[in-house]
Structure 1
């Protein structure tokens, strides 16, 4: 035990904790080889401070309509309360159960879970809407923000059309666009990351409609170096009429 600690201490320097904090705060700033992307740090520093001088040239980044709004949803604390289902809990089969089942808006539920289980979850599996156009997905987060609210909270210039476009997307309650799907997923995946242990793992089912976007989004939230693989799951035995095999879905890990 002591020898292991001594060996670990030999690798420690004054910047280890700083790097750990940076990796947790901005995971996509750390490359697969452990290198640090200073431009990414500058980008998020500019977002945090509004100081545009921090980013002086174009850089690779993943943007979509509603991203800053999604970051806002992640930052807002829940104003809901958990109400126990006393009748269900009194049933003999549930009386001594140590399981926890929460029903409600998963964005709010995740925020409640974070209060008690932040950094403690070993494994997460989610099966989000695939945004196929024929599934049940519509953007329906119930936050009543006006265009003016969006301008103020996101720091958008009043002359810009961005606030109007974001407001239109979130107020239609029927948007199935890629941007709407990403806006829906972003805060939920960020909250999932908050729940996970450092050696935790998340599995996410998806199909061709959003697989590419999901991979890039996860690289930003969890860090590209933490990508384990893309599992292929066979879902049918027939190919389509174009003779291109589409008999599978994906599970990102």
Structure 2
């Protein structure tokens, strides 16, 4: 009935660890840290965040054979060795189950970024071609982490890992661009009274619709005066006999302009004129999108000095005063992934969170641009990585800390809730259904993004966020009391009502139907779990 991860285990739920929450601005998103096997965490997120994630970033075990990957979680010391003939198969089986669940979490516009090295890059590419379809492959980015090169490698000094990028649906996905620094702006862009610009397309049209006979109204002369000014006329005649006439002719073929006469008159300042050996060429000024700064498309080789693997280690050591984790990714690398793949109010998931670099990067970006990104981190607690490294790191960077130099480092701000995966019996008895409902409060709060407790009763609860309410009715007998409570509150309620079936007792809510959306629990949860654990 269950896949290997779930054999002998019931359904996963989340329980909040009280005392570890960090409360920040109520108008900002609440970030989530989930301790537990990432397969179980992904199963829960399939209920709370189906098609809700903008960017998934993971740094999976590289399966080097050097005690970095265990296939059987029940035996933590059972590392897959380099001479294991099934080494790649075990790793692929592990990744396949998780990536299939992860795909369901991405928005149609969502993107997946994965760090990997030579040990599994070929296998991972084939696996993702199968799960996400080859047509949704975006790029394999050599990511330079050690410019000097690893001198221990045979034959060549290795400088890079890889970042594999896939889209949920490449026809809907969008890759952002990097803002330029001052040196880049000076090199690539000019500035006029309207702002930044660079040379864009030639004003002469190209393509199948460019010939004069296709667009006759766009075939006309542009006249140039000796002082460099230019103009067009209604009758296509020059104002002065010495003015130079330029027509849209390419290789002796009559073509057309991209702009009409009126547009040329009104936007002369958006054209660039170049003269070379008696030939006059006209180009459009390419400007950044309204409100944006100049940017450039990322290259397929990822390199900045800040991406050095040593920086990741140094950044973590600066927080803890000692080395607490092997090979953490540098913050700037993950920040750039987030810039490219998530809007500034997006949701970023890392279900192999390790030391928590992704959460640190998202928090830093939010501080820099006043963004409203939310991070969700999932990690197990092997070697106390969650309790002793990931959570303390997030707490320090959110609230502030004292560096190894004794300097006070200001907090980046934000809110955080800490959850641990737990389980309830899966056998479909009435008792187990009631148990699942009683243990589902945190999952429902996460699903509705409503964490502020407004009414706390034994048989129903009410939570709120900035624009809506969440109601949870644990027993049918409490429906009337719940209705009395919500009638006193101005607002709309997404309401989950206990039912042994899929009926949310709509008839009993007829008198408040304008205030509620109803959903039967645990059926809404079981429907997701039946699909995953079939």
TM-score, normalization by structure 1: 0.54
Taking a change above 3 Å as real, the CA distance of residues 75 and 190 of structure 1, as seen in their structure-2 partners, is: farther
Q: CA deviation at 1:133?
A: 1.3
2:127 counterpart of 1:217 = yes
**Unaligned segments of structure 2, at least 5 residues:** 82-86, 166-534
2:79 to 164, 174, 177: 174
Per chain length, whose mean CA-contact separation is higher, i.e. which structure has more relative contact order (CA < 8 Å, sep 6+)? 1
What is the match of residue 119 of structure 1?
Answer: 51
- Name the structure where strand makes up a greater proportion of residues: 2
Query: Does the 8 Å contact 2:139/2:164 carry over to 1?
Result: yes
Aligned-partner SS, 1:101: strand
1:99 to 31, 41, 46: 31
2:19 counterpart of 1:108 = no
Q: Deviations over 1:13-67 (max 9, x none)?
A: xxxxxxxxxxxxxxxxxxxxxxxxxxxxxxxxxxxxxxxxxxxxxxxxxxxxxxx
Taking a change above 3 Å as real, the CA distance of residues 216 and 125 of structure 1, as seen in their structure-2 partners, is: same
Give the 4+ runs in structure 1 shifted more than 2 A.
71-78, 91-97, 170-176, 238-243
1:140 to 72, 75, 81: 72
Q: Deviations over 1:165-202 (max 9, x none)?
A: xxxxx999433411111111110010110101112100
Taking a change above 3 Å as real, the CA distance of residues 219 and 128 of structure 1, as seen in their structure-2 partners, is: same
What is the match of residue 252 of structure 1?
Answer: 164
1:238 to 140, 149, 154: 149
Query: Does the 8 Å contact 1:88/1:94 carry over to 2?
Result: no
Alignment length, in residue pairs? Answer: 155
What is the match of residue 55 of structure 1?
Answer: none
Q: CA deviation at 1:238?
A: 2.5
Query: Does the 8 Å contact 1:78/1:111 carry over to 2?
Result: no
2:92 counterpart of 1:187 = no
Distance 1:171 1:235 in 2: 29
Taking a change above 3 Å as real, the CA distance of residues 171 and 107 of structure 1, as seen in their structure-2 partners, is: same
- Name the structure where helix makes up a greater proportion of residues: 1
Distance 1:88 1:94 in 2: 17
What is the match of residue 14 of structure 2?
Answer: 82
Q: CA deviation at 1:117?
A: 0.7
Distance 2:6 2:133 in 1: 20
Distance 1:118 1:232 in 2: 31
Counterparts of 1:9-48 in structure 2, within 5 Å, are: none
